[in-house]
Chain A
Amino acid sequence: MINKSRKVKNTVMMSLFVISTILALVPLFGVLGYVVLNGIGALDFDFFTNLPKPLGVVGGGMANAIVGTLIIITIASIIGIPVGILAAIYLTEYDRTSWLSTAVRFTTDVLTGIPSIIIGIVVYTTIILRTKQFSAISGGIALAIIMVPLVIRSTEEMLKLVPHTIREAAYALGIPKWRAIINVVLPTAAKGILTGAMLGVARVSGETAPLLFTAFGNNYWAKSLNEPIAALPLQIYQYAISPYEDWHRQAWAGSLVLILLVMVLTISARLIFRTRKG
């Protein structure tokens, strides 16, 4: 009898877990499947090599938006990753407890939760209104601002995982602190730090709102980093809200490419930095 009620309870709980898991996964796979289904049809060679065609002309592609997204992400990474990692080194290695590091840590947490459109507005009012020019640079800066707290937090966690005994071992050999950090602590945490940074990159590559008033979008190739530049999320947004069937198809294809891009980034981050564990 006890056995039976136990079995019943076990089955009930088990089904709860299974149902919840399925509930969580259905929308995920739904979105993915829907994008693939709708996007795959419009995805052809032209999509990767051609510029958008003028209104009313069927065909064309998003080559400029794909390249634009890669450029903006590169700018964001060049700024955001070093700043984030160096700040995290300061917070963990030099100053864990002072008011400054507490303030930075708190701000970082707040910044992680701020809606990204606000970052866009801030960059718009501080940079664009002054330079009077939408640009790839300002788009990159906006994304970097979103990235920095993510990188700080993930790097900090990774550095904290490096046992204190490793640092002591370095000091006990007469190795100066900065050398110990660069040659002992950082390499020990390298995989985790880089994985965190890559995930930060993946996270910002789909951002649309902050690019609306910074990179702005462009139907042609941008000739320099100081002019408006196309980006996949922007192009998707612009095409999706249009009334044209062909643009809708292209928006789906763009979404698919964006998802693939993020997926490649995430998976390669996991693969590259998981090769040699422990």
Chain B
Amino acid sequence: MGQRITVKNLEAWYGPGAERTLKSINIEIPANQVTAIIGPSGCGKSTFVRCLNRMHDTLPGARVSGEILLEGQNIYDQDPVQLRKTVGMVFQKPNPFPSMSIYENVVAGLRLTGVRNKEKLMSTAEKSLKMAALWDEVSGRLNYSGMSLSGGQQQRLCIARALAVEPSVLLMDEPASALDPIATLRIEELIMELKKEYTIVIVTHNMQQAARIADTTAFFLNGELIEYGPTSEIFTNPMDKRTEDYITGRFG
């Protein structure tokens, strides 16, 4: 099941003396919903999701303040390596491990954290690939290199890989921006399926995409959370002038 995320006064820096990338973000991300983060380039949306699995504060020099609660537990009190098993992530560009086969890619998160049981690995691989809607296409060639797949398939492979460690939250940083429209559509359908089991936070540049798949949408600008609410509200009846300007294409 998905978990709820509560963000309190989150601020983020990339280095000492650097400008604040995130400014006092307060947001409640509901469980088992798709939450879209939209905003122009450089507004801090990627930084925001990278805070949620502590990929940000483990960068050299980077720093955060504030709290992020996952079902009430502050993630900054947890070991980042352990946390990432609960909060999975899919990146902008498909990044399967080049030296591994399709099967090895899917179970990498298990095998490299000590799971040895062959049957468990195989059944997890099948389950994850089915959830990522890739099983039918690759079941006959699990030993092929992950790089032999098309871009869209690679991205679904990466999703399967993230699902295999059984997270409760799935972060997606522009997961479809490097894909063609048909592959994008498949990813979007997949996201709609996955939200039954996971809490999904998706960064997107594509406002139509946010409108299509997100239950709630957050609009970021210059490191601030400008507006946050049900997607239909944000897109049809934005409260803030800046949100309206952005979604109507006046800037960004």
- Name A residues whose Cβ lies closer than 8 Å to a Cβ of B: 163, 165-166, 168-176, 179-180, 183-184, 187-188, 190, 276, 278
- Whether A173 touches B108, Cβ cut-off 8 Å, given contacts A168-B91, A179-B113, is yes
Q: Are B113 and A169 in contact (CB under 8 A)?
A: no
Partner of B147, one of A170, A180, A187, A278: A278
A171, B97: Cβ atoms closer than 8 Å:
no
Choose among B83, B96, B109, B145 the residue that contacts A175 (Cβ–Cβ < 8 A): B109
Is B45 part of the contact surface with A, judged by Cβ < 8 Å? no
B237 to chain A, nearest CB (A): 36
- Complex Cα spacing A154 to B108, Å: 28
Interface residue from B58, B83, B95 paired with A169 (Cβ < 8 Å): B95
Chain B: which residue is nearest A164 at the CB level?
B95
How far apart sit A168 and B96, CA to CA, in the bound complex (Å)?
Answer: 11
Min Cβ gap A157→B in Å is 17
- B55 pairs with A171, CB closer than 8 A: yes
Let me know if A174 and B84 touch, CB within 8 A: yes
Partner of B95, one of A163, A183, A190: A163
Q: A171-B84, A173-B162 are in contact. List 20 more A-B contacts (CB 8 A).
A: A165-B91, A168-B95, A169-B91, A169-B95, A169-B97, A170-B108, A172-B55, A172-B91, A173-B88, A173-B165, A174-B85, A175-B81, A175-B112, A179-B113, A184-B97, A184-B100, A184-B108, A187-B97, A187-B99, A278-B147
Q: What's the Cα separation between A188 and B147 when bound, in Å?
A: 12
B96-135: contact bitstring with A at CB < 8 Å (1 yes, 0 no)?
1111100000001101110000000000000000000000
Show 24 A/B contacts (Cβ-Cβ < 8 Å), sorted by A.
A163-B95, A165-B93, A165-B95, A168-B55, A168-B95, A169-B96, A169-B161, A171-B58, A172-B53, A173-B84, A173-B85, A173-B88, A173-B162, A174-B81, A174-B109, A174-B113, A175-B108, A176-B81, A179-B113, A183-B112, A184-B112, A187-B97, A187-B99, A190-B99
A222 to chain B: closest CB distance in Å? 41
* Nearest residue, chain A, Cβ from B108: A173
> Cβ of B165: which chain A residues have Cβ within 8 Å of it?
173-174
- Closest residue to B96 on the A side, CB-wise? A169
Determine whether the beta carbon of B85 is less than 8 Å from that of A188: no
Q: Which of B226-244 contact A (CB under 8 A)?
A: none
Q: A172 touching B82 by the CB < 8 A rule?
A: no
In the docked arrangement, what's the CA distance between A276 and B100, Å? Answer: 12
Considering only residues 194-250 of chain B, those with a C-beta below 8 Å from chain A are none
| Contact between chains at B112 and A180 (CB < 8 Å) | yes
Q: Please indicate the chain A residues that have their CB under 8 angstroms from the CB of B100 in the complex.
A: 184, 187
Q: Which of B161-176 contact A (CB under 8 A)?
A: 161-162, 165
Give the shortest distance, in Å, between A278 (CB) and chain B (any CB): 6
Closest to B99 in A: A187
A-contacting residues, B34-75, CB 8 Å: 53, 55, 58
CA A175 to CA B109, docked complex, whole Å: 6
List the B residue with the shortest CB-CB distance to A189.
B99
Residue from B93, B98, B109, B145 in contact with A173 in the complex, judged by beta carbons closer than 8 Å: B109
Assess the B99–A188 pair: CB atoms within 8 A. Answer: yes
Chain A contacts of B22 at CB under 8 A?
A: none
Interface: B89 (CB within 8 A): yes
**Are A173's CB and B147's CB within 8 A?**
no
How far apart sit A190 and B100, CA to CA, in the bound complex (Å)?
12
Residues in B with CB closer than 8 Å to A183 are 108, 111-112
Q: Closest residue of chain A to B93, judged by CB?
A: A165
